[in-house]
Amino acid sequence: MQTPFHQVALFGKYPSAGHGGAVSASSSGPALEAIANFLIKQGCEVVLDAQTASHTGLKGYPVMEVADIGRQCDLGLVVGGDGTMLGIGRQLAANGLPLIGINHGRLGFMTDIPFNSFEAVLTPILRGEFEQDIRSIMQAKVLREGKCVFDALAMNDVVVHRGTSTGMVELRITVNDRFLASQRADGLIIATPTGSTAYSLSAGGPILHPSIRGWVLAPIAPHTLSNRPIVIDENAEITIEVVSGRDASANFDMQSLTSLLHGDRVVVTRSAHQVRFLHPLGWTYFDTLRQKLHWNEGGS
């Protein structure tokens, strides 16, 4: 079979990839081995991510660091849960490497192919029959006295919150240098459409279809109930300044964390990079929502 994907990289769940799946690192080895054998039969050369190889003990395959995979491979298969995909997606965004998610974890909004049907689903994709799904990501910086002291990418969300303190934080929010609001709350979530089904959803934010080029600003337990989620253009620059409150912090996809001081500003813009997901022909985002949120249950 002729395939446009000659060199395929496999990524498995391992401890540093986050908490998006329910399986342990060691249990993903047999799943990766089964997928690797299938890919070889389809005429693909299989490469293992170095961290995956180290944590699973799989041998007999070429091993590459993530940066080299981004430059040399044609496709990445991520086996795990959404936390695994978040970590890999951020690292490979600059390379534009297309990614396919095979669910070996819990929920799986991004790793949406069930492991027990991966052969049937991957076969036509490897022939070039697929839907492409492009996701924007955020670039976030923490500015302290005018200097950048921390920066990170986020596929899901940037969250400024009160940390371990029992009190609220007061945040001053501007959009493109125009004042939006001051709010006292447990925090504020800025979510991409990808992240609109994560923490933002739990805080009462709306679900954004990935084709909508916007960010969600969702307050966490606001003191004033009229502080409601709002959707703004993804090309805007959002600034959150910490006015008061103890032990404030910011996290990025719940994986990178930094402490904040009064006067610190978290500046969020759209990254120049994007993440490319591949899905089987006929896939729609609505199918994923119905399946993952159980919207089809209880009907007549």
The dihedral built from the CA positions of residue 81, 217, 261 and 247, taken in this order, carries a sign that is negative
Q: Which of 49, 68, 74, 82 is catalytic?
A: 82
Class of residue 132 by CB neighbours under 10 A (exposed 0-12, middle 13-18, buried 19+): exposed
- Assess whether 186 carries a catalytic annotation: no
Whole-number Cα distances in Å, 108 to 115, 124, 125: 11, 21, 19
SS3 121: helix
How many Å apart are CA 173 and CA 158, to the nearest integer?
A: 14
Residue 91 C-beta-side C-alpha neighbours within 13 Å: 21
| 247 residue type, one letter | D
Measure the N-to-C terminal CA separation of the chain; round to a whole number of Å: 44
Residues with Cβ within 8 Å of residue 284, at least 6 apart in sequence: none
Q: Which residues are catalytic?
A: 82
